[in-house]
Chain A
Amino acid sequence: MYNTIKINTGDGGWGGPLTVTPTDKCHTVLSVTGGGIHPVAQKIADLSGGVAVDGWKTTLPDDEIMVAVVDCGGTARCGVYPKKGIFTVNLMPVGQSGPLAMYITPEIYVSAVKEKDIVVLGEAGTVATEAPKAAPVDKGPKTKEQAKEEIKAANEGKSQGIVVKIGKVVGEVVSKFFQAGRDTIEMVIKNILPFMAFTSTLLGIISASGLGNVIANTIAPLCGSLPGMLVICFVCSLPFLSPILGPGAVIAQVVGTLLGAQFATGAIPAQYALPALFAIDGQVGADFVPVGLSLGEAEPETIELGVPAVLFSRIVTGPLAVLIAFVFSIGLY
């Protein structure tokens, strides 16, 4: 028996509340939360009468996913499912952020959700709801063909002078440049500045409190030698660690900034910069494999085997990348 449920916004969260009604076809709760089925996903499934599925092991056609439960810090996952038109529940208190922020709307997305935020509204059918499946598609920009046809229709019966034609082309180009500028500024405000604020505060505390010297004395010797970097990279790419270290590249970015401070003081010689870039990044995207594969329209079976294949490959290619970078940094500084 299916129930209509309501998913409320959690403490400090954004978006929602969502009203979700399972159907025979679409009743699966996809838990994409770093392995395993998260209690929130389980609760949604239990209350609604649907099934919870581990997004790490299996994946489904998009039209069978009722709700996707993610724990995204604000870069990718939180936008991927809204873009596909799937109800998205984020466990983290994240609002509209990331490159796909425009798809994150209160009608389809809710964040900071805890188990207590999920309530039953009634049996399916008693509450009239409409799935927003088609809505995001309509919001997308017009395809070129459509736009061209519209212009054609508008110009029907008019003879265009060459001046008008040139004017139109210039206008089109300028508007694209302007839109590019708008996109860029939005990106700076939504993603770059917040990260700078967070990292510089952290860095300020570290350097002013004297913690910086402690780090310089412990990490610098490790990163200032090839074997040390190989060890760091190997540890970062261990299959049970890499998915935890990956999300949003936050750890790689913070470590990169900390190392930068060491390069600035000369505690680590500059010729180690290139291998260091690869040493701190052996885990890149390891948290994102199932989602990335499903974005590439991979079959569920491919994802099942693809995840361990990528993770195991990293143990070898991670340190190997450091070695290659080391060779290529000869003669750089």
Chain B
Amino acid sequence: MELITNLAQGFMSLFTAGGETFMGWVTGIIPTVVCLMTAVNSIIKLVGTERVEAFAAKITKYAVLRYTLLPLMAVFFLGNPMCYTFGRFVDEKYKPAYYDAAVSFVHPITGLFPHANAGELFVYMGIATGLQQAGYDTGGLAIRYFIVGLIVILIRGLLTERIYLNMLGRNKA
């Protein structure tokens, strides 16, 4: 009898531990994320996508902006996955590189702006909540994640552009 009781308790303890984690996330993460997302979503609605698109179309010819500001704006205003539609403003030969840059930014942005990719928050949140539990402040991490993200997408954009143009040249020859 005791054995069965122990088994049952052991079994339940698996889910009690899970429940505690869940409660911690719901009370610790969701309230801030909800308010932040609501604020940013309102700004996006007030600005309107048309204005953003008009601006986006102008900056695609500069390589540096094409792989930094353009993906940043796309991910911020449209979120994942609609941000890739900004690829239509980019010259055909730069589209793979633009995609690479945009998709590589959908996680670095979540540290500061979770609204942009709320379905995939835990790439950042998972590590950040761990650090919080250990007593660290995560603000610095979020900002650095964002900045390094921008640098990385610029490099990815430029390199993927070179690789693609190279493959294209060889294909034609």
Contacts and interface: CB of A to CB of B under 8 A. Distances in A.
Interface of A: 74-76, 79-80, 98-100, 143-144, 173, 176-177, 179-181, 183-185, 187-188, 191-193, 195-197, 199-205, 207-209, 248-249, 252-266, 270, 273-274, 276-278, 280-281, 284-285, 288-289, 291-293, 295-299, 302, 305-310, 312-314, 316-317, 320-321, 324-325, 328-329, 332-333
Given A191-B118, A298-B92, A332-B144, A277 B87 contact: no
Contacts, number: 289
B63 interface: no
A325 B104 CA distance: 14
Contact of A325 (B125, B148, B160): B148
A116 to B, nearest CB: 31
Contacts of A299: 92
- Closest 3 CB pairs between A and B? A296-B87, A204-B18, A260-B130
Given A193-B26, A278-B152, A317-B156, 10 more contacts: A98-B119, A176-B46, A192-B30, A205-B15, A205-B18, A208-B18, A257-B126, A285-B106, A309-B96, A333-B140
A263 B95 contact: no
30 contacts: A99-B82, A144-B48, A173-B46, A183-B41, A187-B119, A196-B22, A199-B126, A204-B16, A204-B17, A204-B20, A204-B21, A208-B14, A252-B107, A252-B120, A257-B122, A259-B126, A259-B130, A263-B131, A264-B129, A264-B134, A277-B107, A278-B152, A292-B102, A293-B96, A295-B81, A297-B87, A302-B95, A313-B160, A317-B159, A333-B140
Interface of B: 13-22, 25-26, 29-30, 33-34, 37-39, 41-42, 44-46, 48, 50, 79-82, 84-88, 90, 92-93, 95-100, 102-104, 106-108, 115, 118-131, 133-134, 136, 140-141, 144-145, 147-148, 151-152, 155-156, 159-160, 163-164, 167-168, 171
B144 A187 contact: no
A266 B163 CA distance: 41
